[in-house]
Amino acid sequence: MFQKFYDKALAWSKHRHASKYLFALSFAESSFFPIPPDVMLAPMALSQPKKAFNFALLTTIASVLGGMLGYAIGYFLFDSIEAWLQSTHYWSKYLQAEIWFADWGFWAVFIAGFSPIPYKVFTIAAGALQMLFLPFVAASLVGRGARFFMVAMLLAAGGEKLESKLRQYMDIIGWVTVALVIVGIGLYKFYT
């Protein structure tokens, strides 16, 4: 089952408009969309290793531009979205982001940009808390760039050998991931 999804993702990654879709996904994820661009960047870098760094650069630029939109949402519209944000699972992450900004400022954005922490929460929080714009952009550029170039570099270095190994073990990887998600949800519900 997962091998079919894997094969489909690799086929989509070679589509003539794949770079446009990657740009749009990267932009949207940084301000409002829940799916990270890694889900497109990874198969694109894997299937076209010679273009991996171009894809990482495209992803970084789009993500930082999307982060600027998130910043603008927080800066200009936070009062309008605060009630909605409180009703989502992102509210606790937003409150954590406020604490991080108070303690670390620039480094909070850098860490959020590099890590799997929802970056969009930090872009909106940066605007709402009126973080200086240029340090925000610089932290975003460095954090997001480091993450996306690392993904592209690792997958491009693996090339065809990694692609064949992933395909061979994709069903096992898929089911282990499903099991981990179920366990994670169970633990989350148990502790909250």
Reported as a single tens digit per residue, the pLDDT across 34-69 is: 888 888 888 888 888 899 999 999 999 999 999 999
Mean pLDDT of 132-151: 93
At position 89, the amino acid (one-letter code) is: H
Q: Give the pLDDT of residue 169.
A: 55
In Å, the largest CA–CA distance within the chain is: 51
With 0.95 as the threshold, say if the pTM is over it: no
Residue 151's CB is within 10 A of a number of other CB atoms, namely 20
Report which secondary-structure segment, H or E, holds 87. Answer: none
pLDDT bracket for residue 170 (50, 70, 90): low
